[in-house]
Amino acid sequence: MSDEKTGEELAEEQDDGIIELIDEDENVVKFRLLDVTEYKGGKYALLLAAEPNEEIAEDEVVIFRLNEDEETLEPVEDDDLLREIFDFYQEETEGEDVYSDDER
């Protein structure tokens, strides 16, 4: 998936927690912003599908690198890095209520 959003559009969408990205087939895919975490000097956005989707399970977390200079989300291609980021996030939030049912 590519990110076609400007920084201003991202900021507006992050206010309500919904981010729209364009997939490789030019389809709009809506995500709910779960959280942003820092790992090994980088910032990563953890996203959940906001609408039913054939490619992404409802409880599947999708991770993008947050490029603050360009204010874009960039795909992370390295499966090992994705696993490390997700494991790190789980350790950091263990025991915390990440989001309430009202926010879902």
102 belongs to a structural domain: no
40 belongs to a structural domain: yes
14 belongs to a structural domain: yes
18 belongs to a structural domain: yes
1 belongs to a structural domain: no
pLDDT at 8: 47
DSSP 19-75: EEEE-TTS-EEEEEEEEEEEETTEEEEEEEESS--SSS-TT-EEEEEEETTTTEEEE
Q: What is the pLDDT of residues 35-91, one digit of tens each?
A: 999 999 999 999 999 988 888 888 899 999 999 999 889 999 999 999 999 999 999
- Pick from 51, 54, 39: which is nearest to 86 by CA? 39
pLDDT band at 102 (very low <50, low <70, confident <90, very high): very low
pLDDT at 103: 45
**What average pLDDT score do residues 3-22 get?**
60
Do residues 72 and 21 lie in contact, with contact meaning Cβ atoms separated by under 8 Å? no
Residue-number span of the structural domain to which 48 is assigned: 7-94
101 belongs to a structural domain: no
The total of structural domains in the chain comes to: 1
